[in-house]
Structure 1
Amino acid sequence: MAVPKRKTSPSKRNMRRSHDALSQPVYVEDKNSGELRRPHHIDLKTGMYRGRQILTPKTEA
């Protein structure tokens, strides 16, 4: 059975846990519509991505 040879110091323990913190999702303002969207994602309302029409726009029924 594996047993640690030395006690992990609080500094080392906290450095390991520093990557576990949750971060807020990032949103950018769309240049055309002005709405918030995720970066590097297609705008589903307009169907635009990087200035090109990728999808047909969704119509609200």
Structure 2
Amino acid sequence: MGVPKRISSKSRKRSRKSANRWVPPALVKNKKTANWIMSHRVDPTTGMYKDRQVITLKSAEKP
């Protein structure tokens, strides 16, 4: 009995396999605070992005 050589195409099979590949997030060291943060995101400890204050953080102490 004849059996097909490939039931699904190579590109379909490879695209399924590529979905399982895990890539770690790109971390960048902040120049001023030396914290590791994800690239192109606001630093959560200082609220800075590209040397600009983007988020104003509330102080930790409450009277």
Shorter-chain TM-score bucket reads 0.5 to 0.7
Structure 1 residue 16 corresponds to structure 2 residue 15 = yes
Structure 2 unaligned spans of 5+:
1-5
Tell me the C-alpha RMSD between the 2 structures. Answer: 2.0
Structure 1 residue 59 corresponds to structure 2 residue 59 = yes
TM-score by length of 1: 0.66
Identity of aligned residues (%): 32
Counterpart AA for 2:16: R
Structure 1 unaligned spans of 5+:
1-5
User: Is the contact made by 1:46 and 1:58 (CA closer than 8 Å) also made in structure 2?
Assistant: no
